[in-house]
Amino acid sequence: MDAFPTGTSRRTLVAATAASAGALALTACGRDNGSGGGSGDGDGDGDTSGTGVRPGEELAALADVPVGEPTFARTESGGEAFLYRSDETTVTAYGAACTHQGCAVQPAGDELRCPCHGSVFEAATGEVVSGPATRPLPAVRVKIEDDRVVAE
C-alpha cells in the first residue's frame, strides 16, 4: 500500500517539502519588529528612511553620543538608529537593521556588525565593508538642536 495521497509521486512530495522548509528558513532570517523591514520606502507616517524614525523625534541628548563611537537610539515611537558623532558638531545616523535580511546590527569599535550573516558596515558612513549585504544602511537625517540630536 502506498503512503502517499493518490496521484502524488514521492518526487513531488519531496520537492514540496523542500520548498516549504526553504520558505520557513528565509522567514526565520528576517527581523519581525512590526515595522515591515528596512526597505527604505517609509511606512506612510513621515518616515522616509525605513527605520521608523520620524522627523522631529529626539534621538538622544548630544552629551550621550561620544565622539568616535556608534550609539544606539530608540525613539518614543519605536524607531531605531545608530548615531555616530565624528566631532563636537557633527552627528550622522543610520538604520539599525542590516540591509541583507533585517537583523539588528551591533556596534563593534568603529563598525556595525550583523550577527546573523556577518555583514559589516562603517559606523561613520553606513557603507558596506563586507557582505553578504550589498546596500548601505539607510541614512537618517538628523540635526543638532540645542543639546539634542533630532531627526529632520
| Residues 83, 70: Cα–Cα separation, whole Å | 6
Contacts of 32 by beta carbon, 8 Å cutoff, 6+ apart:
none
**Mean pLDDT value across residues 130-141:** 93
**The C-alpha cell that represents 134 in the structure block:** 550589498
- Say if residue 21's pLDDT is above 50: no
Q: Per-residue pLDDT tens for 60-78? A: 999 999 999 999 999 988 9
Domain boundaries of the chain, sorted by first residue = 1-30, 58-151
For residue 6, the model assigns a pLDDT of: 57
For residue 51, the model assigns a pLDDT of: 86
CATH of domain 58-151: 2.102.10.10
**Mean pLDDT value across residues 32-47:** 39
For residue 50, the model assigns a pLDDT of: 75
**Do residues 43 and 35 touch, judged by C-beta distance below 8 A?**
yes
What is the number of other CB atoms lying within 10 angstroms of the CB of residue 57?
21
